[in-house]
Chains A and B, each alone.
Chain A
Amino acid sequence: MTILRINDVFLQFAGSNRPALQKINYQIHQGDFVILLGSNGSGKSTLLKLLHRQYQPGQGEIYFHDKPIRQHHYHQFSRQVAVLNQNVADSLFTSLTVYENYLLMNQQHTLRSRHQEGKTFLQNYLQDFNPNLSGKVDLTINQLSGGEKQALALALCLLEPPSLLLLDEHTSALDPKTSEQIMQLTQKMITQHNMTCILTTHDLDIALRYGNRILMLNDGSILNMFDKDEKGRLSKDKLVRCYYA
């Protein structure tokens, strides 16, 4: 089932003399783990922002569940499409506690009623993501480590599992060990909830290990596409080799 359809999308920012994205055509199916590879300025993050309605395409249309995304009710759309950035401060309320963040992102628990019940639920829920986090529900986000923040951001955006998860280099600020843990956790959650995921990265290793469809972007266009059975071709691709040389 096609979940997302990108039709001839073009975007040029005001004041720029070259397009940020051009002639983007692609279809993403339910359960796909799509990796966007490319150098800085290739258009990966811009494409993700278009998919999350942070930008509007200059030309073309993006369809989510066969309906143009701009026609989806914003609140409903935000519940179905979650985004996680490299900068975790974009995905969390950093001056608030872990529990307060949970309360804001989950409407079911109020402050007074079932207060303890909410905390217990959160502690148990976080255990799956990062055992350290479950004991830190009363700490502010600023007091957590980078890995804990990223695990928490992932946990909170999966409270109500979205159908599409957009990950914009969400592990790039972490050390290799923590990055690996977060990636494994991400994949586990994606499989568990049968979500569709689009991830931007510079890491070829991540692309090869986790992605089942890989897009190579360059200068705002899709330069090459690889399916999971073509990963061998990806590592031999001239442009990829040139980029990672």
Chain B
Amino acid sequence: MSNLIISILTQSLTFLPLAFAISISYHILRATDMTIDGSFVAGAAVFAKLITMGIPPLLAAAAALCCGAMAGMLAAFIQRGGRVDPLLAGVLATFILSSANLVLMGKPNISLLSQTTLVSSAFEQGDLVGWALTAGYVMTLCLLTLALIKSRFGLTLRAFGDNPALLQRLGKKVELYRLAGFALTNLLSAAAGVFTAQTVGYADIGMGFGMTLTGIGAIILGHQILRRCYSRPYFRIGAELIACLIGVLLYFFSLNLLLSLDINPIYLKMILGILLIIFLRAAVRPQTGSSIS
């Protein structure tokens, strides 16, 4: 049982920056950013490649985060001026990234098991120390993002998601905010890739598949549950982060529970999808007086 709990907590921890990125993209930028799938892999790929080349882990992580941000900027650039739908731009950016990641890695999988990473020395001292350090990195990143969203820049980013035309009328450079917003979400996603690669011990070209959709499901779930206990009429970024955490924990709880029940992995995503639908339908409060057609 304790193994199951540890597994859920550790998986949730590395997935949290990605869920937070999706939450920002979904609730602040009001766009479904599919680039997150690609930048998650890009983060892991760049980090793993640089580590195997002997680059110091901190520098490798910084480069991976920059690559993630650049992937986001690519998606923002494709959308520039609202000419391409954000969803399509994300798909196109991920399409480009899938090739770029493979070129960068040189092979579909890079092992990090024998390499020195940001957390490897901590894990050598014990799992608890290793996970505590990982948690420290993740929470620092999330809290820095939280502070950024609470600043005037964050307020303007929310205004951009709400009404870009009005923001432009106020003299703000909306394309700059689009770039910054998408760079931020993809930087977080790349960070999740970096943490995942370090904790699982490898970077794989297919590790980002379906991450965005999983994340969206998890954050909607977390949101609906949080709304039941804590209802605020206005936006609270702290509550968004808590909602992400709840959603991610529930997702990995379901995943690990299914795995512990020896379910054939072929059916895993199908069952998870159905479970997500059941959770969502149970969590969403029906609108009073609404008609059902």
Interface residue? A127 (CB, 8 A): no
Q: Which of A4-12, A20-28, A136-144 contacts B (4 or more CB under 8 A)?
A: A136-144
Task: Please report which residues of chain B, range 170-184, place their CB below 8 angstroms from some CB of chain A when the two chains form the complex.
Answer: 170-171
B170 contacts across to A, CB distance below 8 A: 78, 104-105
* A79 to B235 CA separation, bound complex (whole angstroms): 28
In-complex Cβ contact of A93 among B152, B163, B171, B233 (8 A): B163
Nearest residue in A to B150 (C-beta to C-beta)? A111
Task: Please report which residues of chain A, range 89-132, place their CB below 8 angstroms from some CB of chain B when the two chains form the complex.
Answer: 89-97, 100, 103-105, 110-111
Q: Which of A75, A94, A105 has the most CB of B within 10 A?
A: A75
Q: List 6 A-B contacts (CB under 8 A).
A: A90-B163, A91-B166, A96-B155, A100-B158, A111-B151, A111-B155
A105 contacts across to B, CB distance below 8 A: 170
B163 and A103 form a contact (CB under 8 A) = no
Interface residue? B242 (CB, 8 A): no
Q: A79-B171, A94-B162 are in contact. List 18 more A-B contacts (CB 8 A).
A: A78-B170, A78-B171, A83-B169, A90-B163, A91-B166, A92-B163, A94-B163, A95-B158, A96-B162, A96-B234, A96-B235, A103-B155, A104-B156, A104-B170, A110-B152, A111-B152, A139-B233, A140-B235
B165 contacts across to A, CB distance below 8 A: 90
Binary contact readout B43-57 vs A (1 if CB under 8 angstroms, 0 otherwise): 000000000000000
A93 and B151 form a contact (CB under 8 A) = no
Task: Please report which residues of chain A, range 61-89, place their CB below 8 angstroms from some CB of chain B when the two chains form the complex.
Answer: 74-75, 78-79, 83, 89
* A94 to B233 CA separation, bound complex (whole angstroms): 12
A100 and B166 form a contact (CB under 8 A) = no
B residues apposed to A, CB below 8 Å: 150-152, 155-156, 158-159, 161-163, 165-167, 169-171, 233-235
A100 contacts across to B, CB distance below 8 A: 155, 158-159
**Chain B proximity of A164: nearest CB distance (Å):** 14
B169 contacts across to A, CB distance below 8 A: 78, 83
A95 and B162 form a contact (CB under 8 A) = yes
B166 and A92 form a contact (CB under 8 A) = yes
* A97 to B234 CA separation, bound complex (whole angstroms): 7
Q: Is the interface of A mostly helix, strand, loop or mixed?
A: mixed
**With A96-B235, A104-B156 as given contacts, are A75 and B162 in contact (CB-CB < 8 Å)?**
no
Nearest residue in B to A109 (C-beta to C-beta)? B152
| A interface residues, tally (CB under 8 Å) | 24
What are the nearest 3 A-B pairs in CB distance? A75-B171, A93-B162, A93-B159
**Chain B proximity of A150: nearest CB distance (Å):** 15
* A93 to B169 CA separation, bound complex (whole angstroms): 12
B171 and A74 form a contact (CB under 8 A) = yes
Q: Which of B155, B158, B169, B235 has the most CB of A within 10 A?
A: B169
Q: Which of A79, A93, A139 has the most CB of B within 10 A?
A: A93
**Chain B proximity of A184: nearest CB distance (Å):** 26
**Chain B proximity of A202: nearest CB distance (Å):** 25
* A28 to B204 CA separation, bound complex (whole angstroms): 67
* A213 to B291 CA separation, bound complex (whole angstroms): 49
A90 contacts across to B, CB distance below 8 A: 163, 165-166
A140 and B171 form a contact (CB under 8 A) = no
A143 and B162 form a contact (CB under 8 A) = no
A75 contacts across to B, CB distance below 8 A: 171
* A112 to B161 CA separation, bound complex (whole angstroms): 22
* A46 to B238 CA separation, bound complex (whole angstroms): 43
**Chain A proximity of B243: nearest CB distance (Å):** 16
B162 contacts across to A, CB distance below 8 A: 93-96
* A90 to B169 CA separation, bound complex (whole angstroms): 10
**Chain A proximity of B25: nearest CB distance (Å):** 15
B235 contacts across to A, CB distance below 8 A: 95-96, 140
Nearest residue in A to B27 (C-beta to C-beta)? A95
In-complex Cβ contact of B158 among A74, A96, A110, A111 (8 A): A96
A94 contacts across to B, CB distance below 8 A: 162-163
**Chain A proximity of B28: nearest CB distance (Å):** 10
Nearest residue in B to A91 (C-beta to C-beta)? B166
**Chain A proximity of B263: nearest CB distance (Å):** 40
B163 contacts across to A, CB distance below 8 A: 89-90, 92-94
In-complex Cβ contact of A140 among B150, B155, B234 (8 A): B234
**With A139-B234, A140-B234 as given contacts, are A104 and B171 in contact (CB-CB < 8 Å)?**
no
